[in-house]
Structure 1
Amino acid sequence: MKLLSLLSIHSNRPNEANLARLVWLRWLNLGLLLLVSSLVSWQWRLQLPYAPLLVIGVLLTLFNILTWLRLQGARRGWAVRESELLLQLVIDETALGMVLFFADGASNPLASLLLLPVTLGATLLSTWRASLLLLLAVISYGLLVFYHVPLIQAQAEPLQAWLLHRLGMGLTFLFSAVLLVWFVSRMARSLRQRDAQLAAAREKTLRDEQLIALGTLAAGAAHELGTPLNTLQLLADELAETVPAALQTDVQLMQQQLAQCRQSLSTLSRRASHPREAAQDGSVTQAILQLAERWALLRPTVALTLHWPEPRPDQQVHWPETLNQALLNLLNNAADAQHGLSNNPIELRLDVSADALLLHIRDHGPGLDDEARERAGQGIYSSKGGMGVGLLLSNASIEQLGGEVRLTSPPEGGVCCDIHLPWRRLALMGEPT
């Protein structure tokens, strides 16, 4: 079970995972040799040179234990190199050659197992290292043809020797086929995982390039919008002094919206140059309530309903401003999705687990089809005719915090945006309850 766990642990590091597989294969090889030795000794009463075979088996067992301990070191950062894999296969090839030397040499049906390390080397190693293994296998086989310890009993009983040879060939074929399928299938799975990771990395690189381009455009737009916003603010202030009382409410709303825009622009450069400072320390409840207040200023015509767990979460967190902006973008998407279709409020529900804060934003719009749900957040794509950057930016900001955004379609209609935020990335100062 520990070896299986090692395979899982090292699945993202190919050399470590392959070394763990070699440990497995070595145990299987030792088991096969023990099985064959037991059969020919007890069933057919052949006299084997037990002393040297036992020494080889013990040494190979000790070496495998040391390799397993070395894998424990790989978990602590001691990387496995390709030259180490070559050394492992050379030792396997040499040990098998020594076993065959004491058991009839190249005439032993197990001699074809000499090709197993070569096959593995061709799969795991570079061409020149695999060629060294091939050369070693050829030399070993050639020497075993002329130099070996014969099995006297097999020479004395030709029929028994013929039966044993056929049985050995069958066992060797079966063992080699099973091992090759097992090893190659897992190698193919590792390659598929690597290809998937490379594809994900390419997608992330493309998305990051889009974000950099958006950041550059946003900086330019912020600089250009400063003067028009100041002009609009002056005009709104003048209107507040001249318009009738019946329009004062609308003018005040205009002033609030302009003030919010100016505040957002004035803090943009500060957030970019000091991202750690652009955050608030406090409880989760305080952060969500402040988010709701900002939402009321931005979209006063769209109600927001908060659903709290009992008791309300009081974990102390370092709540970054980028997270606030990401959540506001998601709320805006929800409001836009149901605009003109439903007067129901946007719903924001909080759940708390031992390792994460869970937020669920629900709208009552038309919902998303499978294609839109799959593409959302992976690039500049919009299902409602907009620019499509809101979900992209929100997804990127939440991923930077180790979180995840998923879109689902409830049976009742609309879209539910599920946000998973791990406590450890929110710099939690208190233990979650």
Structure 2
Amino acid sequence: MSLTEFGLMGEHNRSNWIRLRTIILLRWFAIVGQLGALTVAQWLFDLQLELGLCYLAVGVSVMGNMVAIFVFPENKRLSESENLLMLMFDLLQLCFLLYLTGGLHNPFALLVLGPVTVSATVLTLRSTVLLGGTAFALITALVVWHVPLHTASGQILRLPDIFVFGQWAAISIALIFISIYARRITHEMHAMSDALAATQMALARAQKLNDLGGVVAATAHELGTPLATIKLASSELIEELEDRPDLQEDAQLIRDQADRCRDILRSMGQVGKDDLHMRQAPLSEVIREAAEPHQGRGKEIHIEERPGPGATEAQPQILRRPEVIHGLRNLVQNAVDFARAHIWIEAVWTDTHVSVRIVDDGQGFPPQLIGRIGDPFVRQRRSAADRRSRPEYEGMGLGLFIAKTLLERTGAELNFANGSDPFLPSTEQGERRGAIVEVVWPRARIVSEAGQRGVAMGKNRPLEI
């Protein structure tokens, strides 16, 4: 499953996140509140209400809850259409109760925002528009059609028309504003959640590949001696069995199979040298490993390494962590996607920091998006020329988000910039004029302990399984 498909699947299934039990519990709170408001209005303020119809409206909610409790299991999760029907029922029940108790002259008219806000949070845009349109139509009708509130003395309680109009306008604006606000915030939260899940998937995959490489390398190392012994003994048997061709042929087969096992282990172990090399490696080797999958994509990748001011010539041995390799690989992939012909990877180290700069000769980052780079699902409208130059590319910013998240987890700080002003003519721009991504680690966070002390790695340790 691709990361995009993962995000879309989460988008379509979010309406299933709400349990029926949650809706039932919230409805019980609403029922208690409605009964309490009716009781206070009757006994404390002595309002003359259509109590029969009011209690009928509340009783419908009670019956709906009872049916839901006894018919459906407690762990049932509501589908999109079921969620919409439940919220629509609550909206209609509330508006009917408002009709019986003064319409927009009732201060509890603001509660119509509740179902629409919930819809904007968990349902699709179509369902939210349908529910919001229904709420708008109902509150508009309540301005004209409602049962007035009467006191015991027969006095009608009503707001001035200008206040009723203000109440209607405020609720109408709130229906739009709160729906957009809740939907936008929820979308941001879901996008971040999906992207973090995709990051965890990518990291888990990289960790499994890293562990597999270590197991293969350790296996190749451990089996090297017995295979060499088998080959030596079979070679001696071949010489001693010259007068026994049938047995000599068997000895030859043993030696050939030992050579075959050696070749298989060698090919499987190409991902790593030995178990300690799986944990740390020179800075330039880690960069080459990260860039290797993109070497054959028609763009030339140049790797440059040099010490910074006051640093020693020997490059540091850095921790070969999956987060580092996978994060740098995503940054290189982004550079290759947008470069014209060349990508430069500059590795610089000092006594306090280790930095990697990835520069390309493309058009650079869009100036209006530089501040948002690293956020998930940032999509820019592509021009016709861009579609022709990269018809297969459908970037959503997820790769850069994953890279940024993984590298920051290792203690790195990322900076995004352009090599030159994209609005300058091409004749005034330098060769390295495209996007620049700089990754900077504190030396203590990325350089291995052995590399910090400048000592040998020591003996290989046995693999713990």
Question: What band does the TM-score fall into relative to the shorter chain?
Answer: 0.3 to 0.5
Choose between structure 1 and 2 for higher RCO, CA contacts under 8 A separated by at least 6 residues.
Answer: 2
- TM-score if structure 1 supplies the norm length? 0.42
Q: TM-score, normalised by structure 2?
A: 0.39
